Amino acid sequence: MNLIICENYREMSQKAAQLAAEGIPRSKNSLISFPGGDTPLGMVEQFAGMVNAGEVDISRTRYVSLDEWIGLGPDDQGSCAWFNWTKLLQKLSKPFLEAYIINGKAEDLNVECGNLNMYIEKYGPLDLSVLGIGMNGHLGFNEDGVDFNLKAHVIPLSETTKSVMRKYFTKEHDLKYGITQGLLHIMEAKRVILIASGAHKAEILRRALRGPVDTLVPASILQNHPNLFVVADREATSAL
Ligand code: PGA
């Protein structure tokens, strides 16, 4: 594991964007994934800036989103699709080769999971997976107790996720399930970058990185990843 401790959120965002850019192969088509949420906002902005400045070439890169709230789509402020479109895809003056944004409003969610798996298996494995960590240690919507061997799936939101989620939305939503890439595909990524910021993440980051590998803290599986970068600010690393 490569642990990179940054002074503050801005430095964390810059470092993560730089490591993400370096994780994109130059001489072949590639597949990458970024998370939604508050933590990646700065990283995504930096990354888009690098693309637009010609410092990173994404013309041979496919993008796949990590997860989505069941029932929400790109027009719902705070959804993952909304994040992906407004914070990343629409900011790029040079687009990805293609982007697959998970449809949380799909009529048949089994088909949506199948399509996501097919996409990752056709164009993958992921060259790069950037991840945030939830207050319960989730990665995407791989909630506490999740099976480490799952591919894409639909999962009930944990009580922790339900209590945290209000911060993303300006409207009330009654959300009970999420759809997510599974840990099986995430663990096959050639490079994983876990980002974390703020004192409120210190304890769960400690459990994820220093505690036992246990499904109760899904992010602990990353201890087994051969090419993991943890990029976090001082506050988030204060319990390590
Ligand atoms: P946050 O979410 O970046 O908004 O803290 C992290 C996550 O739940 O993955």
For the chain, percent of residues with pLDDT exceeding 70: 100
Phi, psi of 40, rounded to the nearest 5 degrees: -80, 0
Average pLDDT over residues 92-98: 97
> For 176-221, how does the pLDDT look when each residue is reduced to its tens digit (9 = 90+)?
999 999 999 999 999 999 999 999 999 999 999 999 999 999 999 9
Q: Annotated catalytic residue: which of 68, 76, 127, 143?
A: 143
Residue type, 124: G
- Closest to 59 (Cα-Cα) out of 68, 67, 51: 51
CA of 237 to the centre of ligand 1 (A): 16
For the chain, percent of residues with pLDDT exceeding 90: 100
User: Is there a cis peptide before residue 125, judged by omega within 30 degrees of 0?
Assistant: yes
pLDDT in the model for residue 208: 98
Annotated catalytic, 76?
Answer: no
Average pLDDT over residues 5-15: 98
Distance of CA 118 to the CA centre of its chain: 19
| Ligand 1 pocket, mutate which of 9, 13, 34, 38 (most atoms under 8 A from CB) | 38
What is the residue-wise DSSP string for 47-102? HHHHHHTTSS--TTEEEE--EEETT--TTSTTSHHHHIIIIIGGG-SS--SEEE--
| 136 CB near ligand 1 (under 6 Å) | no
> For 135-182, how does the pLDDT look when each residue is reduced to its tens digit (9 = 90+)?
999 999 999 999 999 999 999 999 999 999 999 999 999 999 999 999
Instruction: Assign 227 to helix, strand or coil.
Output: coil
CA of 55 to the centre of ligand 1 (A): 27
Taking the CA of residue 168 as reference, the ligand 1 atom at the shortest distance is 4
Q: Annotated catalytic residue: which of 117, 136, 144, 185?
A: 136
Question: CA 187 to CA 149: how far, in whole Å?
Answer: 10
- Strand boundaries in the chain, DSSP class E: 2-6, 30-33, 61-64, 67-69, 98-100, 128-132, 153-156, 177-180, 191-196, 228-233
The mean pLDDT of the chain is 98
- Strand boundaries in 163-234, DSSP class E: 177-180, 191-196, 228-233
